[in-house]
Chain A
């Protein structure tokens, strides 16, 4: 009889082994797929590598990784409370929307640093406010927050599209549907070839880690995630902790939008988030919701994106095939988690009595 049991905790080395095996299997499967589609996998690897080995490529990957990591940090706070915030995409957009709104009412001569600071605050507020209704409804009625935050994404996307094409259409854009770009003084300064968003990410990751592991509020957030009952027994107001955590999560996502706006895009459009809010969910999950690991995984995802771009551009591989390969790698990664968290036991019928919450 096959039996599946939870592992107490796999030792680091064995977990690494499982993960490496999964990635190798995924690469093998991808290679076979690429071969089956009539391309030479060695050529693909060569091209991908040529797109990663230069300093410029490194800068490019970091630029891609910044919003991914920030948004992943954002959703991981909510996920820690088992609040499935899949609304980062919309929160990113609304953060950028709020930042643009503030910037547009500031007088022209506002110093760049002040403008950036105010836009960052607006970004935090915009993202938090967009996360507020789902949090309130979940706290009040136990409304399914996964579905609610998902819907809020699409409302935000349409809203920004409406702004771009009608309400905020820039008269200076020669009749093209475009929102006026933010002033040059609001562009984030560059450091080592990349906008300073990368420093912000490192700081935020550290702060988040400290918050969750070392502060009382962070402890509450974690307890609510472990078990709401326990939290209640311990005298916590679950609703308030939930609200606080979700607002924090939304605010970080909103800040991500502001960083994307002021760091790379310079103009608000409905594609500003560009799927980063969804990718961030996968990153946060594969990182086990741990801030330092998120940094690493976000960088790996950026490398994957960059490599896929080169694959398409230079090896002539359609972007669709690159998507397939990425999907395949995700499947293997998701599957491998099982072998880290559970073990399969061959024995006669016997049931453990242990009760444990699923992460």
Chain B
């Protein structure tokens, strides 16, 4: 039975915000890797769609989760590869190439997905994502005053998720460690900060950038797969509905940090669904600040604020990857 105490209403809201934040989080992690290497890939939406379509079609054709995951990464990597070849090797403009990738990716995905419209996620994959591996049985203490409700609250907020959610969190932690605690991460950051000095110290700039763009693409593909395979259970055209652009904003909002990405994605995920909660309060109906459309602006407005505040810091503070969006050609150094 549905529990409608305010505490539980909050818990259920937070939990669904987490579920809605997943494609944002994983996409943000991917784009963060790419941008840390100095490449601004605006084709996130396209790559998410390509990954989602490839992965979902594979899932319904082969009934295999592993193949579906591989296909999602593969599909998005294919898109990222176009971008990498054009911007790294052929030195095309990053912004323009990213926009072209958005168009191309949506086209490919919607073409590939034609056959999968209305198909459902295969039952055993559905069951796998319905599984909540960390959910403890609290029947023993549920009726204890204070402790019982507190435990149920914590369980709802933290422990009732499917495996995708925990994997995404783990991924954020691993990426953060990788970026800040390993040689590989250092190389990646140097390439994104100052490719010329990276080059001078023997780091292979082009190869690093290729790697970052392709890894970023793969993660965007997994983010795109979440929507049809896990969240909606079916495919429709343009299923990402602009989330790729939210991701671009989120990467800035969390200032290129995988750990902060978790909180940022949670906030943006909550903003996506808070309108339905607010509709339960008719006294807010006329207030523009709580209008669904104005709420839709908030992610972009707060991103603007963060972006400006970040760049207004005094010298010495880190203002994002130094070479972001700038092409690097050794010959023109």
Contact = CB atoms under 8 A, between A and B. Distances in A.
Asked whether any CB of A lies within 8 Å of a CB of B in the complex, the reply is yes
A4 B331 contact: yes
B95 A86 contact: yes
A16 interface: no
A327 interface: yes
Interface residues of A, number: 59
A66 B61 CA distance: 45
Contacts of B308: 137, 141, 143, 148
Contact of B291 (A137, A152, A166): A166
Nearest to B324: A144
Nearest to B99: A278
Given A281-B99, A323-B104, A148 B304 contact: yes
Contact of A358 (B100, B312, B329): B329
A335 B92 contact: yes
Contacts of B252: 147
Interface string B291-333: 1011011001101100110011000000010001101010111
Interface residues of B, number: 53
Interface string A183-203: 000000000000000000000
Contacts of A354: 332
B156 to A, nearest CB: 31
A341 B90 CA distance: 10
Interface in B88-102: 89-93, 95-97, 99-101
A5 B320 CA distance: 30
A276 interface: no
B293 A166 contact: yes
Contact of B307 (A144, A321, A338): A144
Contacts of A278: 99
B288 A166 contact: yes
Contact of B332 (A146, A147, A330, A356): A356
A318 B111 contact: yes
Nearest to A138: B311
Given A137-B308, A137-B311, A323-B106, A146 B40 contact: yes
Nearest to B43: A327
B248 interface: yes
A335 B89 CA distance: 9
Contact of B95 (A4, A84, A141): A84
Interface of B: prevailing SS: helix
Interface stretch (A43-51, A155-163, A292-300): A155-163
Nearest to B93: A285
Given A285-B93, A328-B104, A155 B300 contact: yes
A326 B99 CA distance: 12
Contacts of A6: 331-332
Contacts of A331: 82, 86, 97, 100, 104
B307 A324 contact: no
B90 A355 contact: no
B110 interface: yes
Contacts of B193: none
B35 to A, nearest CB: 10
A316 to B, nearest CB: 12
B237 interface: yes
Contacts of B122: none
Given A144-B307, A144-B311, A356-B332, A320 B99 contact: no
Interface of A: prevailing SS: helix
A275 B91 CA distance: 25
Given A146-B325, A334-B86, A282 B96 contact: yes
A337 interface: yes
Interface string A316-359: 00111111111110110011011001100000000110111110
B103 interface: yes
B117 to A, nearest CB: 11
B101 A162 contact: no
A333 B40 CA distance: 20
A355 B332 contact: yes
A282 B97 CA distance: 8
A342 B106 contact: no
A321 B111 CA distance: 6
B33 interface: no
A167 interface: yes
Nearest to A321: B111
B105 A342 contact: no
B297 A158 contact: yes
Given A5-B331, A320-B111, 8 more contacts: A86-B95, A150-B42, A154-B300, A320-B109, A331-B97, A334-B86, A338-B91, A351-B331
Interface of A: 3-6, 37, 84, 86, 137, 140-144, 146-148, 150-152, 154-155, 158-159, 161-162, 165-167, 278, 281-282, 285-286, 318-328, 330-331, 334-335, 337-338, 341-342, 351-352, 354-358
Interface of B: 40, 42, 82, 85-86, 89-93, 95-97, 99-101, 103-111, 114, 237, 245, 248-249, 252, 288, 291, 293-294, 296-297, 300-301, 303-304, 307-308, 311-312, 320, 324-325, 327, 329, 331-333
Question: What 7 pairs between A and B have smallest CB-CB spacing?
Answer: A327-B104, A323-B107, A324-B107, A320-B110, A162-B293, A338-B90, A330-B100
28 contacts: A4-B331, A5-B331, A86-B99, A137-B308, A141-B311, A141-B312, A143-B307, A144-B325, A146-B40, A146-B95, A158-B294, A158-B297, A158-B300, A161-B296, A162-B294, A281-B96, A285-B96, A318-B114, A320-B108, A324-B111, A326-B103, A327-B105, A334-B92, A334-B100, A338-B91, A341-B91, A358-B91, A358-B332
